[in-house]
Amino acid sequence: MKNYDDVLKSRLDDENYRKLSAIENSRLHKFVAEYVQLCDPESVSVITDSQEDIDYIRQLSIRNGEEQKLAMEGHTVHFDGYNDQARDKDKTRYLLEEGVDLGDRLNSIEKSKGLEEMHSLLSGIMQGKQMLVRFFCLGPKNSQFSIPAMQLTDSAYVGHSEDILYRHGYEQFRSMGDCDDFFRIVHSAGELEEGVSKNVDKRRIYIDPDESIVYSANTQYAGNTVGLKKLSLRMAIRKADKEGWLAEHMLLMGVNGPGGRRSYFCGAYPSACGKTSTAMIPGETIVGDDIAYLRPINGELRAVNVEAGIFGIIRDVNPEDDPIIWDALNKPGEVIFSNVLVKDGKPYWLGMGHEIPESGYNHGGEWFKGKKDDKGAEISPSHKNARYTVALAELENCDENLNDPAGLPVCGVIYGGRDSDTSVPVEQGFDWTHGIITKGASLESETTAATLGQEGVRVFQPMSNIDFVSLPLGRYVQNNLDIVEKLDGEPLVFGTNYFLKDESGGYLNGMHDKRVWLKWMELRVHGDVGAVERPTGLIPEYEDLKSLFKEVLGKEYTKEDYERQFAMRVKENLAKINRIEKIYRESVSDTPQVLFDVLQQQRKRLEEA
Ligand code: SPV
Ligand code: MN
């Protein structure tokens, strides 16, 4: 490359050059220059934290057709390509130096080969387009949790999503000087056809974990392009490993207990398994719905939401089940709807509790009821993974401590998967180690529409984080076990299961029962209720649930319901131990011995039962 400053001077106009040079960081300047040269955009816009710059992105997204205005003030819709509707796990790969082996589980490609491929895809990819240079802060600003991150993208939709989802970081970059510890992300939607990425066969998402760089090309779906989300989570997991903290696929929420107290919980649920709807339970407060950083600080486990907004699944959001998000999506304010059905400027989606029109416009273009795609499959009015993007501040129950740089004290950690026949609705682990191993590291879940591939298949989902764990798995489990050594007390660990079914395939629990489980967990944290000991953990006593159901939901909870829901499924639990043990024994070479010991003890308890 030519002298990088010459490149920047020749490719940026005065105004943008001035904005970039106001950040005195040579690593950053070199990086921008390198990708300006490679991607060859027509122009480069450096976006600061000013309202004027943020508004510019919002308008650009409308102007270039990536978003369209809807009837309600501030609402827009964005469509991803018909075959670009979810995270592409197969084409998301780590760039690893030759000889580095992180186990087969991590989808990887040899670094020089992967970089060569990526660079050839990115070469000239932004011709005729505008490159946006963006700065954000993962976690609250001015905090030991903060990670600065910058993004280059040619998509105003991606930039707009990030403005809603993250804290702005231009000023932070200015104040941090020549520091080289920040995440870098390069994205291009590639050639567009009718506003969507045309070359999805050339969709690639590569992560260089040593350099903390993400490359993403020929895709728009936010899970593949908003590099600050899951792609940065992967990098944060490695950073956390080096520095002695945890980066998790977790919600963070306040649960209100008796006497005005509030207790904070983290919760890990795989995609589309109730994480967001748990985080938004009315009467409690939401801090975050997707990614949390957890650090031991002065003997306490403290957590922050990495984000400031929600990229949530819209399917089944209706006024009955999710009143808080329903309200946020039905009032004027900044919301991006993606891959919904639009008719007369209004968005519609599956499970909204209203009638859906028989025609309109959706991710497949003009739509009418019964329309089929080119493989002969019927196109649903809205995609199952259709989403909304909204700032947390728009939610009526947003926790006032969302931006607290000190983080919030975590008193309980919850793991929950989609499990039709094995685990009870709520159960406490005997202690941290037992909880992490049997509830977290042993989590399984039936697949959903949030990733490409078949649905309804039971998959191994340790900590709900398996898609993002960028370390040898045993080491990651060990890090989770070890964190308590730096704490004065142990947070409690719980398992939940909202998806238990009866013999005829109907759910054994109502949508709102999770409100009761949360209240019970809050009481357990403070030792306010007892529990029944089982081979697999501690379950609620019937009388406590009976009064909580009355108090929280105004419902009679019968002994019969309790017995059906909390039945000890011995055979299924034994089968699960066998499956989990096999996975760790056969495909995880660095499994901590304690995992096998704890599973073996649980097997013995089950056999004796
Ligand atoms: C998930 O799928 O877990 C999400 C959305 O939260 S994505 O950004 O695609 O990861
Ligand atoms: Mn998620």
pLDDT in tens, 203-225: 999 999 999 999 999 999 999 99
Angle between helices 473-482 and 230-243 (to 10 degrees): 60
**Boundary-marking domain end, from 362, 394, 426:** 394
Same-domain pairing of 212 and 281 = no
Same domain as 287, residue 328 = no
Ligand 1, from 87, 220, 231, 385: best to mutate by most atoms within 8 Å of Cβ? 87
Q: How many domains does the chain have?
A: 3
Please report which confidence band the pLDDT of residue 272 belongs to, taking 50, 70 and 90 as the band edges.
confident
Which of 82, 235, 91, 237 has the alpha carbon at shortest distance from 151?
Answer: 235
Nearest CA owner, ligand 1 atom 8: 223
Domain interval for residue 499: 246-307+399-608
- Are 173 and 212 in a shared domain? yes
* Nearest CA-CA partner of 100 in 499, 471, 390: 471
- In this predicted structure, the answer to whether residue 106 has a pLDDT above a threshold of 60 is yes
pTM of the full structure: 0.96
Say which residue, 337 or 271, is predicted with more confidence: 337
Report the C-alpha gap between 130 and 224 in whole angstroms.
20
Using the atom order of ligand 1, give the atom closest to the CA of residue 270.
3
pLDDT at 104: 66
What is the mean predicted confidence (pLDDT) over 596-600?
Answer: 98
Q: Which of 361, 394, 427 is the last residue in one of the domains?
A: 394
What would the mean pLDDT of 314-320 be, rounded to a whole number? Answer: 95
Query: Of residues 39, 137, 266, 273, which has the active-site annotation?
Result: 273
Q: Would the CB of 271 count as within 6 Å of ligand 1?
A: yes
pLDDT of residue 1: 56
Identify whether residues 106 and 129 lie together within a single domain. Answer: yes
Q: Which residues contact 311 (CB under 8 A, 6 or more apart)?
A: 161, 165, 222, 223, 226, 229, 290, 387, 388, 389
**For residue 135, what pLDDT band results from cuts at 50, 70 and 90?**
very high
Q: For residue range 137-153, list pLDDT tens digits in order.
A: 999 999 999 999 999 99
Q: Which residues surround ligand 2, an ion (CB under 5 A)?
A: 290
pLDDT tens per residue, range 416-466: 999 999 999 999 999 999 999 999 999 999 877 666 666 678 899 999 999
Same domain, 540 and 527: yes
Instruction: Work out the mean pLDDT of the chain and round it to a whole number.
Output: 96
For 453, phi and psi rounded to 5 degrees?
Answer: 120, 180
Together in a domain, 91 and 222: yes
Report which ligand 1 atom has the smallest distance to the Cα of 86.
9
Do 487 and 352 belong to one domain? no
Alpha-helix runs per DSSP H in 250-395: 275-279, 323-329
Give the number of other CB atoms < 10 A from CB of residue 604.
11
**Which CATH number does the domain housing residue 237 bear?**
3.40.449.10
Binding site membership of 300 for ligand 1 (Cβ less than 6 Å): no
For the stretch 36-53, pLDDT in tens is 999 999 999 999 999 999
**Of the residues 349, 369, 394, which one is the last residue of a structural domain?**
394
134 lies in some domain: yes
Lowest mean pLDDT among 104-118, 131-145, 198-212: 104-118
Q: What is the arithmetic mean of pLDDT over 170-195? A: 94
Q: Are residues 450 and 567 in the same domain?
A: yes
Nearest to 483 by CA among 259, 607, 300, 323: 300
Q: Is 266 part of the annotated catalytic residue set?
A: no
Q: Is the pLDDT of residue 285 over 90?
A: yes
CB–CB of 456/446 below 8 Å? yes
Q: Has residue 325 been placed in a domain? A: yes
Q: Which ligand is nearest to the CA of 291?
A: 2
Residue pair 444/419 in contact by the 8 Å Cβ criterion = yes
Q: What is the pLDDT of residue 2?
A: 60
Q: Is residue 104 part of a domain?
A: yes
Are 338 and 377 within one domain?
yes
Find the CATH number of the domain harbouring 267.
Answer: 3.90.228.20
For ligand 1, whether the C-beta of 290 sits within 6 Å is yes
If we measure between CA atoms, which residue out of 65, 117, 85 comes closest to residue 384? Answer: 85
Quick check: is 77 in a domain?
no
